[in-house]
A and B are shown apart, each in its own frame.
Chain A
Amino acid sequence: MAPRLTKFTNGLLLQDDRLIAGDLWISSDSGKIISPQSAFYGSGSTPDLVLDLKGKIVSPGFIEAQLNGYSGLDFAKQDPNFEQRFRAVRKGLIKAGVTSFTPTMTSSLPEVYHTNLPYLGRTQARTASEGAECLGAHVEGPFLNPERNGIHTKEVLQKAKVWDDIERCYGTDNFRHIRYITAAPELGNMVDLIPEFVARDIIYSTGHSDATFEQAQDAARAGATMVTHMFNAMRPFGHRDPGIFGLLGQQPSRPTTPTQSPQQSSPTTSPTIRSASNKPPVTPPQQFSLPRRALSNSSTRTPTPRSSIDSTRRRSSPRSSLSISTSITSVPDATPEPPFFGLISDGIHLSPPTLKIAYSAHPTGTILITDAMPLTGLPDGVYPWTDGENIIKHGSRLTLEKNGRIAGSAASLLECVNNFIEWTGCGVAEGLRAVTQTPARMLREEGKGRLGVGCDADLCVLELDEDGKLVLRQVWKFGECVHAT
């Protein structure tokens, strides 16, 4: 009979961005973290099991937001034994510390969505022995930009013009199984459809897209709150054309100090002249005189959210040095918050400095993902992929046989955390937060990702080895120990 009340003592608990020494009480009856004080005064309970962690780290269980398959099961392939194999996936995945995940379906034909989505819906039962909890499917496609398809098969990609296109693709009854969607906002009428997803409690993520910064902003304003594997499968960052990455450089929507509008910074008007002239206050556009003509486009009218520069044309040649594609004034009520964004820190998809720069731009929005392929958990070798193509697996490195393109990776989430900590110097707490609290916030998952009273008792007990790397020691799900080394 499993102990009902467990007390962890002498541990370092992850709280926001730091590790704090303290005790943690969990109940396997409710599967949640409890308040010891309430237990003491209320039921007069004392712990059934006291674990002295001797300084080990307690983190909420890891939340994997992008996983394409595991142990050979591809979530985007139809399989007669899908349900059974998926159960095995959940049992295997939790041993890596992943207590919750959103299984990702790469771009597929509608029939595959209709078949598989019912199996990938949110796990209803709170049974610890079943392993990792599925939080609903992540449909990555098929509404992606063919120019930025990665390894998605171009033939199945499509554009959506009306909501009906979306319904026909996934199946009307299957929306309740979808947790979040990755789509290219610049195609079809996707930006207009984003609010429909949001209204159905589906998180919209921009990815596999060639969107410019303005297009990405439009999507954000329409309700996009996440970016799928930043930098990969999108327009590269340009210093005057930051693309989707530019979303991380936005100012917060309500700045604490007023921003300066252009007329005050004009070099030709001086305050003394204005006051001495006794003129009534003039409206800004008339008073304002710019030294250069090129900037007049965006400044002779009162600032509006949209940039005046043509945002739909792809620029083939560099502009004059003074024209910039971003609006130079920021309007308090129109700029959305910087989004959450995924980073694959397997050492294959992104270089270390890139991780550091992205993290520094928006630390509280950083989510680490593996984007791991179904081959994860299988031995090295050559494996068949869709449409007669092959993938070569070598350690955690996967490449498409025909063109050597990166075909995802087979790294573990903990490996990604360790890499991230090493390359950004963010510290253990921040590294762990990027796979716990931040993905939980992105998914709007209230009871997970934190060690708070009332949250699910999904825990990872870790310790640092002599190289300063985190090593997984125990995994707890719903208040029960499901894995220990």
Chain B
Amino acid sequence: MKLIIRDDAESASEYVARYIIKRINDFAPTPERLFILGLPTGSSPEKIYKYLVEAYKNDDISFANVVTFNMDEYVDLAEDHPESYHSFMYKHFFAHVNVKPENVHLLNGNAPDLLVECAEYERKIREAGGIELFLGGIGPDGHIAFNEPGSSLRSRTRVATLAEDTIRANSRFFDNDISQVPRQALSVGVGTVMDAREVVLIVTGHNKAVALQKVVEGSVSQMWTASCLQMHENAVIACDDAATDEMLVKNVRYFKSIERVEVEQIERKGRATVAAISEDSRSNQWRGALKKLQVDTNGANKKTHKAENGELTPDSMHGRLVDSAIAMDDIEKMEDGMKLTNMGSRVNTIEM
């Protein structure tokens, strides 16, 4: 998995937001080919939603052809309860953007038959074509969604009983009264998340440090269910320095160096192409050109990249981004007018 480390939670969140925007725009969803997005709730993703809403208001992104599937919802909590995940998602996201109500999916914790509800949810995901990008966080006990320690790593959407740790952590939203926190929740399984074509996690804060260490440096374990992402082909974790507190210094340095090396590579190649471009056209065209770019989702370029970059770039995702500055060998394939956009997209990703 790829670790993107930023100084603080704000910049890590901004990175993820920009990344999602880029992915959706590159995908260029249409009513016939919708972008399926998996979404979490919680204080870490809250900042990401803020950036996404801002970007929508600035016309940088449209959610008209985006389908959303949320990870979880409390059982037996009224939908309009201020702490329900329905309320969270509406308040922070759906109320401010143009996602269509019929494209929004959340588990219904008050369904008459919870097992049927879970099975239906899995079916809807399948029918939509599977999740393109699943955004998530991890709990202090390393759980992904509500897959508490001990959950099967092949689990599907089901009724989950919350661990005491989680209940305690969530009580801050229920007037610090533990008795008010629901005991059960419907949640996508570890397997459901793993099925997504890409998983992006946001992990910030010192209280996540132990969990992050186990998930990144530890082995794949049912006790730290997010560690299953080590087996995922396209997993990214964006975190802040505080969350890396329990990791080995050498590993933190290592992940930071990967990004640095990429930047150097880009600069080297970029200098050659920049010289050929005029000043005026660059600023005018980069954003518009960005939208014309295609994303190669079938990963045809993956193999060529692995051969070239080897261990320095363990993540194959950049290879799917045809325009990415990192995928330098694709420059020749692009039209002339697009060369300058590499600079723009590079500046976009690096300056987070």
Q: Is the CB of B95 within 8 A of A46?
A: no
Chain B, 89-115, contact with A by CB distance < 8 Å: what is the 0/1 string?
011001100001110101000000000
Q: Is the CB of B101 within 8 A of A44?
A: yes
- Closest A residue to B84 by CB, please name it: A37
Contacts of A44 in B (CB 8 A): 100-102
- Closest B residue to A43 by CB, please name it: B101
**A38 with B94, Cβ < 8 A, contacts A44-B101, A44-B102 known:** no
- Closest B residue to A40 by CB, please name it: B101
Contacts of B94 in A (CB 8 A): 40
Which residues of A (39-58) have their CB < 8 Å from a CB of B? 40-41, 44-46
Q: Is the CB of B86 within 8 A of A45?
A: no
How many of chain A's residues touch chain B, expressed as a range? 10 to 19
Q: Is the CB of B90 within 8 A of A40?
A: yes
Complex Cα distance, B79 from A46, in Å, reads: 18
Q: A36 contacts the other chain (Cβ, under 8 Å)?
A: yes
The residue from B80, B100, B102 contacting A37, defined by CB atoms under 8 A apart = B80
Q: B87 contacts the other chain (Cβ, under 8 Å)?
A: yes
- Closest B residue to A46 by CB, please name it: B101
Q: Is the CB of A37 within 8 A of B87?
A: yes
Q: A127 contacts the other chain (Cβ, under 8 Å)?
A: no
Contacts of B79 in A (CB 8 A): 38, 41
Q: Is the CB of A37 within 8 A of B101?
A: no
Q: A302 contacts the other chain (Cβ, under 8 Å)?
A: no
Q: A172 contacts the other chain (Cβ, under 8 Å)?
A: no
Contacts of B101 in A (CB 8 A): 40-41, 44-46
The residue from A41, A45, A46 contacting B90, defined by CB atoms under 8 A apart = A41
Q: A35 contacts the other chain (Cβ, under 8 Å)?
A: yes
- Closest A residue to B95 by CB, please name it: A36
- Nearest-Cβ distance from residue A314 to partner chain B, whole angstroms: 56
Contacts of B87 in A (CB 8 A): 37
Contacts of A35 in B (CB 8 A): 80
- Closest B residue to A41 by CB, please name it: B86
Q: How many pairs of A and B residues are in contact by the CB < 8 Å rule?
A: 29
Contacts of A23 in B (CB 8 A): 95
- Closest A residue to B87 by CB, please name it: A37
Contacts of A40 in B (CB 8 A): 90, 94-95, 101, 104
Complex Cα distance, B86 from A35, in Å, reads: 13
Contacts of A46 in B (CB 8 A): 100-101
Contacts of A45 in B (CB 8 A): 101
Contacts of A38 in B (CB 8 A): 79-80
Contacts of B90 in A (CB 8 A): 36-37, 40-41
Contacts of B100 in A (CB 8 A): 44, 46
- Nearest-Cβ distance from residue A236 to partner chain B, whole angstroms: 50
Complex Cα distance, B100 from A44, in Å, reads: 8
Complex Cα distance, B45 from A363, in Å, reads: 43
Contacts of B95 in A (CB 8 A): 23, 36-37, 40
Contacts of B91 in A (CB 8 A): 37
- Nearest-Cβ distance from residue B50 to partner chain A, whole angstroms: 17
- Closest A residue to B91 by CB, please name it: A37
Contacts of B86 in A (CB 8 A): 37, 41
- Closest A residue to B79 by CB, please name it: A41
Complex Cα distance, B91 from A23, in Å, reads: 12
Complex Cα distance, B86 from A229, in Å, reads: 48
- Nearest-Cβ distance from residue B110 to partner chain A, whole angstroms: 12
Which residues of A (5-23) have their CB < 8 Å from a CB of B? 23
- Nearest-Cβ distance from residue A420 to partner chain B, whole angstroms: 35
Chain A, 253-285, contact with B by CB distance < 8 Å: what is the 0/1 string?
000000000000000000000000000000000
Complex Cα distance, B86 from A214, in Å, reads: 55
Contacts of B106 in A (CB 8 A): 41
Complex Cα distance, B94 from A35, in Å, reads: 13
Chain A, 109-128, contact with B by CB distance < 8 Å: what is the 0/1 string?
00000000000000000000
Complex Cα distance, B282 from A279, in Å, reads: 99
- Nearest-Cβ distance from residue B15 to partner chain A, whole angstroms: 29
Complex Cα distance, B91 from A46, in Å, reads: 15
Complex Cα distance, B79 from A45, in Å, reads: 16
- Closest B residue to A36 by CB, please name it: B95
Complex Cα distance, B87 from A40, in Å, reads: 11
- Nearest-Cβ distance from residue B68 to partner chain A, whole angstroms: 12
Complex Cα distance, B94 from A36, in Å, reads: 10
- Nearest-Cβ distance from residue B227 to partner chain A, whole angstroms: 34
Which residues of B (49-93) have their CB < 8 Å from a CB of A? 79-80, 86-87, 90-91
Complex Cα distance, B91 from A38, in Å, reads: 12
Contacts of A41 in B (CB 8 A): 79, 86, 90, 101, 104, 106
Chain B, 7-36, contact with A by CB distance < 8 Å: what is the 0/1 string?
000000000000000000000000000000
- Nearest-Cβ distance from residue B213 to partner chain A, whole angstroms: 38
- Nearest-Cβ distance from residue B192 to partner chain A, whole angstroms: 22
- Nearest-Cβ distance from residue A33 to partner chain B, whole angstroms: 14
Complex Cα distance, B80 from A23, in Å, reads: 17
Complex Cα distance, B100 from A46, in Å, reads: 8
- Nearest-Cβ distance from residue A234 to partner chain B, whole angstroms: 46
- Nearest-Cβ distance from residue A37 to partner chain B, whole angstroms: 4
- Closest A residue to B108 by CB, please name it: A41
Complex Cα distance, B94 from A45, in Å, reads: 12
- Closest A residue to B103 by CB, please name it: A44
Which residues of B (111-156) have their CB < 8 Å from a CB of A? none
- Nearest-Cβ distance from residue A305 to partner chain B, whole angstroms: 39
- Closest B residue to A42 by CB, please name it: B79
Complex Cα distance, B105 from A44, in Å, reads: 11
Contacts of B102 in A (CB 8 A): 44
Complex Cα distance, B95 from A326, in Å, reads: 57
Complex Cα distance, B96 from A40, in Å, reads: 12
Complex Cα distance, B96 from A46, in Å, reads: 12
Complex Cα distance, B104 from A87, in Å, reads: 47
- Closest B residue to A45 by CB, please name it: B101
- Nearest-Cβ distance from residue A157 to partner chain B, whole angstroms: 53
Contacts of A36 in B (CB 8 A): 90, 95
- Closest B residue to A44 by CB, please name it: B101
Complex Cα distance, B286 from A229, in Å, reads: 70
- Nearest-Cβ distance from residue A416 to partner chain B, whole angstroms: 37
- Nearest-Cβ distance from residue B217 to partner chain A, whole angstroms: 41
Closest 5 pairs between A and B when the two form their complex, measured CB to CB: A44-B101, A37-B90, A40-B101, A44-B102, A41-B86
28 pairs, A vs B, C-beta closer than 8 Å: A23-B95, A35-B80, A36-B90, A36-B95, A37-B80, A37-B86, A37-B87, A37-B90, A37-B91, A37-B95, A38-B79, A38-B80, A40-B90, A40-B94, A40-B95, A40-B101, A40-B104, A41-B79, A41-B86, A41-B90, A41-B101, A41-B104, A41-B106, A44-B100, A44-B101, A44-B102, A46-B100, A46-B101
Besides A37-B86, A40-B95, A41-B106, 7 new A-B residue pairs in contact (Cβ under 8 A), listed by A number: A36-B90, A38-B79, A40-B94, A41-B79, A41-B86, A44-B102, A45-B101
